[in-house]
Amino acid sequence: MRWIYLDNNATTQPDPAVVTAVCEMHEQLWANPSSVHRFGQEVRHRVELARSSVSSLIGCRDRELVFTSGGTEANHLALWGVLGRQGGAPKILITTKIEHAAIREPAEALAECGGRVVYLQVDRVGRVDPASLASSLADHTDADEAGGVTLVSLQWANNETGVIQPIGELAAVCAAHRAEHLGCRVLFHSDASQAVGKLPVDVGAVGLDLMSFSAHKFHGPKGVGALFVRTGVGLCAQQRGGPQERDRRAGTENVPGVVGMGVAAELAGRFLAEPREAERVRAMRDRFEREVQRAIPSAVVIGVLDGREDCRLWNTSNIGFPRLESEAILLGLSERGVCASAGAACSSGSLEPSPVLLAMGVPEQVAHGAIRFSLGRFTTEQEIDDAVRIVAEVVGRLSKTLPMGV
């Protein structure tokens, strides 16, 4: 079967150059990079070259980058590495209920362990008002709480809707709070797995303290990611047993993955330097939405903010089909060769509507039938034409045979 792959927010096709680099490391440069012999040090050199490439993509220093097994581990290292190192001191996490499960579930675990978790409200498209963050910081932080730390963790771009947070403004709120309340320890983390490689990212210019991301979201290999840790930010290692990654993450590095991530970062940098490529995909996404709505007038595009395209990733479309179940739609699409998702790919199989959409205030009858279509660099116009036709046929058939009673 010829697949029409519209699930690029779940994972992307590894670029051929990435595959070549990964194979080279497996076949020729397979020594342990911690070994002191020349073979091992040749491999170490390739790891550090990759670190430099990834650091350049996000605007940080090489020594501020920690390689991990992916975005989930990077998120855990950020949250527990900061909030788990304070002993009995107060621990406060400020976040939202529209985060990826790799943040939502650790937040729930933190609350169970006695930490304080504060959830910010989002507007109808899923954006955080910087004023609400400022108010929350004023209400929930106290410079007199000795040794306490507050971590703000907000996703840069949402994996389900593509909605982009005003990260620069939110970071400025944290900086202003620190300046006004000397002694108040507030750090800002962002899960940027959907932003890196799709948007220009400069952690220094934005003012982030920590940022996590994953290679397979920008045409790199699976099983490798990274955490940016600003110089001066204390981090407690969650894996111990070796001095790797400057004592911040023990374990022999996934060298083929790291090198592949470095190649993917270089390719992403070239892609971002040519904005016409992203605009080409955005135009296909917009045409897909228009034609789906023309064929199915009840379809609802989720996460659109008054026509402002700078508030949504150029590749992502979340469309709700009222009174239908997303699982039934996905099965119908899959049988016809169209790959899409209902919410995050790692939560597929759930019959419950996405907690992200519910937190945005999307009506349940729309959220139950919401499908995420995410395009990529390799998506073609013909695939969009075929996808529109198949979506219309599948949804039309289900509307006649399996409507929900909500």
Three-state secondary structure string covering the chain: CCCEECECCCCCCCCHHHHHHHHHHHHCCCCCCCCCCHHHHHHHHHHHHHHHHHHHHHCCCHHHEEEECCHHHHHHHHHHHHHCCCCCCCEEEEEECCCCHHHHHHHHHHHHCCCEEEEECCCCCCCCCHHHHHHHHHHHCCCCCCCCEEEEECCCECCCCCEECCHHHHHHHHHHHHHHCCCCCEEEEEECCCCECCECCCHHHHCCCEEEEEHHHHCCCCCCEEEEECCCCCCCCCCCCCCHHHHCCCCCCCHHHHHHHHHHHHHHHHHHCCHHHHHHHHHHHHHHHHHHHHHCCCCEEECCCCCCHHHECCCEEEEECCCCCHHHHHHHHHHCCEECECCCHHHCCCCCCCHHHHHCCCCHHHHCCEEEEECCCCCCHHHHHHHHHHHHHHHHHHHHHCCCCC
Distance CA 252, CA 242 (A): 8
What lies within 8 Å, CB to CB, of 372 at 6+ separation is: 7, 9, 160, 161, 316, 317, 318, 340, 341, 342, 343
Supply the pLDDT for residue 204: 94
Domains of the chain: 16-270 (3.40.640.10), 275-401 (3.90.1150.10)
Distance CA 19, CA 235 (A): 33
> Tokens in use for 94?
């400020």
> Tokens in use for 84?
């788990």
Question: Please, which residues bridge with residue 364 across strands?
Answer: none
Supply the pLDDT for residue 132: 97
Are 255 and 33 spatial neighbours (Cβ–Cβ below 8 Å)?
yes
Distance CA 86, CA 322 (A): 47
Phi, psi of 9 (to 5 degrees): -80, -20
Name the one residue in this structure whose structure tokens are 């150029």.
314
Told to judge if 23 belongs to the known catalytic residues of this protein, a careful annotator would answer no
Are 7 and 376 spatial neighbours (Cβ–Cβ below 8 Å)?
no
Distance CA 42, CA 47 (A): 9
Q: Which ranges of the chain have pLDDT less than 50?
A: 144, 346-348, 406
Are 6 and 374 spatial neighbours (Cβ–Cβ below 8 Å)?
yes
Name the active-site residue from 23, 184, 311, 346: 346
Supply the pLDDT for residue 406: 43
Distance CA 387, CA 373 (A): 10
Supply the pLDDT for residue 143: 54
